[in-house]
A and B are shown apart, each in its own frame.
Chain A
Amino acid sequence: MEGLGYFGAAMVEFLDAASLWNILWATLLGIIVGMLPGLTATLGVALLTTLTFGIPADEAILILVCMYVGAIYGGSRSAILLNIPGTPANAATALDGNPLARRGEGGRAMGIATAGSVLGSFIGMLMLALIAPLLAEAALRFQSFEFFWLAVFGVVISGRLTALDDPLKGWIAGFLGLLVAMVGQEAIYSYPRFAYGDTNLAGGFGLLPVLVGLFGFAEVLTVMKQPLAAVIKTSTDSVIPKIREVLQYWKTIIRSGVTGTLMGLIPGVGEDMGAWASYALARGASKEKEQFGKGSIEGLMAAEAGNNAAVPGAMIPVLTLAVPGSAPAAVLLAAMFIHGIRPGPLIMITNPSFVYEVTAMVFLASSSILLFGLLLTKPLMLVLRVPPSRLMPIILVLCTVGSFAIASRLFDVWVMLGFGVAGFVLRQYGFPMAPLILGVVLGPILDSNLRRGLVLSDGSLLPFLSRPISMALWITIALTVLLGIPTVQRLLGEIIRRVKGGRASDAGS
């Protein structure tokens, strides 16, 4: 119950004029960032991180959370009206949102998207407040062995789930990310790995320049390579959702909210999976299955609730384990470290109010998107008319400034460029970016904990395999890998079919 007290205190703290102003402009900026193809939530949060470098930690994190929530919501606008998701998280929204818009019901679609996003966010927020303290408690029992397996698990599960039709590429991306993290001075002997005498390389690749490169510059290049989208017609019907319509699907909303949060909770699996999983479950359970893909209100609501619920979901592992739940959450993690906040299992002991402050931030950001979503439809439409040829150069300038600002070295700008080109190439060939960035974040954790664990066990692998939590983790990893191999999947399918066939004939005879 003290959680409620912390939440209340945080709300009071954030309800003064200066914070309210920050909440409003950051959320609005987030919505605009989300709406514009070429700008992702990750880039938005990364650029704001560099901007808010000098601001006190509480305000800075508040601004970043608002940008994050706003961006994931904002992408629904372009998904519905342009059939182009503003961020990957809104791809599922386009499936039903765009058909609705083409029928002249764009406003209704946007209203439903707004309602779904806000409600999904609230559900995620509740789960954050409930699960985070429990998870932190459990994580207190983690030692080096468990953290090592957690790092491996993150890369493996992220690689598996973000590249569903080709997990091999997901895993390659993840391990490449881990390798990227190996550059620089390592933790035990300070030996500069892969530095070849260059002082810049000895410092390693900064997380923010890598992020800005992979999710900013690579995105700019991808947008430039794509065909130009035509200018849209604005819709004229009302954006205020009918309460009855929203309440009708209360089961879907709750299911999507929970699914989205859980998807966000899984390391490296973020808002886009939250949307897809919620959408697929909603379709499976729906009484109006045929409508899905043709303008189903239920599907639209599920997708938007799912992706927004993943936002607080992704913050749970950030706060309790210092492991990002999604790419924008990775930026938030970096930002927290920059501002001197130490996320991890000890957070409930060293800084117990922080988890509830983050909950309050999500609440306030969600309320703002409700406000902006319902009131500012027409002005926001104008944003979509900006042609990429004018927007992308501006974004690039911001990317450059963003990568430079943290450590004030041009090397970081070159890192950004390099990773941008590499990221672009990898994406063209079907490699997902999320496992890569997760690998970069988890690399140091994996490295130091493996070696520390081996020292503790005197070189023996036994504790890695026999400790209960470690065992749970490595068995899950092994299953994830095995089930990701097509041959194994086929064999399993065969076995299941034979068993079912056997049972059917037993029942028949």
Chain B
Amino acid sequence: MHRADLIIGLILLVFGLLVVSESANMPRYANIGANPVTVPGLVPGILGGIVAFLGLIMALRAVVAMRARASAAARPEHTVVFGVEAKVEEAPSSYVAEPPQASRNRFVTMLTMSLLFAAVALGRIPFWLAAFLFVFVTITLLELPRFSSTREAAVRLAFALAIAGGVAWAVPYVFETIFLVRLP
């Protein structure tokens, strides 16, 4: 927790200083007699400085906290908002039991597929095809861990196909035909 804060604080410090230096390089327009307080680099420079300062404070705070190590009184697990504990009682039945890497796999799958879809497929293949492939493959990949039998796999694949087909048909129809909005 504190190490993350330290790293983020340092990143912000460096980033803020970079912004300040970039802003200092922006033109001053002195040759056209511009008022020096109106230069383009004024506000980004100030903002960059503030971000660097806040990042430094965050990093220092993290260092102090790590040294003190009196972490008993550290961040509560739940937020306290206006004096009310915002902890929501989690009943054991609220969540499905699953291995810990399941959520990480889901996350990676979603991220990768989204990037492939939006950054690679769009614009190169027709939208309906891209959307169909994306939805079908992503749903299948996400539901892969739940394929307990061939029959269930078949059912889930059929659902995925249906949903993908539905999206590929409905989105262009609603956006382009009803609302006249262009699609990639």
Give chain A's interface residues, CB within 8 Å of chain B.
Answer: 50-55, 82-84, 91-92, 94-95, 98-99, 102, 164-166, 168-169, 171-172, 175-176, 178-179, 182, 186, 188-189, 191, 193-194, 217, 220-221, 224-230, 273, 276-277, 279-280, 283, 293, 387, 389-390, 392-394, 396-398, 400-401, 404-405, 408, 410, 413-414, 416-417, 420-421, 429, 446-447, 450-451, 454-455, 459
Contact = CB atoms under 8 A, between A and B. Distances in A.
B160 to A, nearest CB: 8
A193 B19 CA distance: 11
A53 B179 contact: yes
B24 interface: no
For the complex of A and B, list the 4 residue pairs with the smallest distance between their C-beta atoms, beginning with the closest: A389-B142, A280-B82, A454-B37, A393-B138
B interface: dominant SS: helix
A224 to B, nearest CB: 4
Interface in B55-103: 55, 57-58, 61, 75-76, 79-86, 88-91, 93-96, 98, 103
B135 A397 contact: yes
A390 B163 contact: yes
Contacts of A82: 94
Contacts of B26: 191, 193
A83 B86 CA distance: 12
Nearest to A177: B47
22 contacts: A166-B75, A171-B54, A172-B12, A178-B47, A179-B19, A193-B26, A194-B44, A224-B106, A224-B107, A225-B106, A273-B81, A276-B82, A280-B82, A283-B84, A390-B159, A400-B117, A401-B184, A404-B184, A405-B183, A413-B122, A429-B5, A454-B38
B51 to A, nearest CB: 5
A175 B106 contact: no
A188 B32 CA distance: 13
A95 B88 contact: yes
A51 B180 CA distance: 8
Given A83-B89, A229-B96, A394 B163 contact: yes
B30 interface: no
A172 B55 contact: yes
B37 A459 contact: yes
A28 B158 CA distance: 28
A104 to B, nearest CB: 14
Most chain B CB within a 10 A radius of its CB, from A165, A172, A178: A172
B91 to A, nearest CB: 7
A280 B86 CA distance: 11
A459 B80 CA distance: 44
A171 B109 CA distance: 33
Which range holds the interface residue count of chain B?
Answer: 35 or more
B119 to A, nearest CB: 6
A91 B44 CA distance: 36
Contact of A396 (B58, B80, B117): B117
Contact of B51 (A83, A172, A390, A459): A172
Given A280-B81, A397-B131, A410 B184 contact: yes
A98 B91 CA distance: 10
A206 to B, nearest CB: 15
Given A83-B89, A230-B95, A404-B183, 19 more contacts: A178-B47, A191-B40, A224-B109, A224-B110, A228-B96, A229-B94, A230-B93, A280-B81, A280-B84, A283-B84, A389-B142, A390-B143, A400-B122, A401-B171, A401-B183, A410-B123, A451-B42, A454-B35, A454-B38
Contacts of B110: 220-221, 224, 392-393, 396
Given A227-B96, A389-B139, A179 B84 contact: no
Contacts of A405: 175, 181-183
Interface string B33-57: 0111110111110011011001101
A182 B51 contact: no
A261 B146 CA distance: 45
Contact of A83 (B48, B88, B117): B88
Nearest to B40: A191
A234 to B, nearest CB: 15
A482 to B, nearest CB: 14
Contacts, number: 217
Contact of B84 (A221, A279, A404): A279
A277 B118 contact: no
Contacts of A83: 88-91, 94
A276 B81 contact: yes
Nearest to B75: A165
Nearest to B127: A401
Contact of A188 (B4, B40, B79): B40
A244 to B, nearest CB: 27
A169 B54 CA distance: 9
Interface in B1-41: 4-5, 8, 12, 19, 22, 26-27, 29, 34-38, 40-41
A230 B86 CA distance: 22
A227 B98 contact: yes
Nearest to A278: B82
Contact of A417 (B96, B118, B174): B118
B44 A182 contact: yes
B143 A389 contact: yes
A459 B36 contact: yes
A53 B179 CA distance: 8
Nearest to B105: A224
B167 interface: yes
A30 B57 CA distance: 41
A179 B82 CA distance: 30
Interface in B112-166: 113-115, 117-119, 122-123, 131, 134-135, 138-139, 142-143, 159-160, 163
Contacts of B41: 193
B95 A229 contact: yes
B107 A179 contact: no
B18 to A, nearest CB: 10
A188 B175 CA distance: 37
B37 A455 contact: yes
Given A53-B179, A176-B51, A189 B40 contact: yes
A404 B26 CA distance: 31
A220 B139 CA distance: 13
B54 A172 contact: yes
A53 B181 contact: yes
Contact of B135 (A394, A413, A417, A429): A394
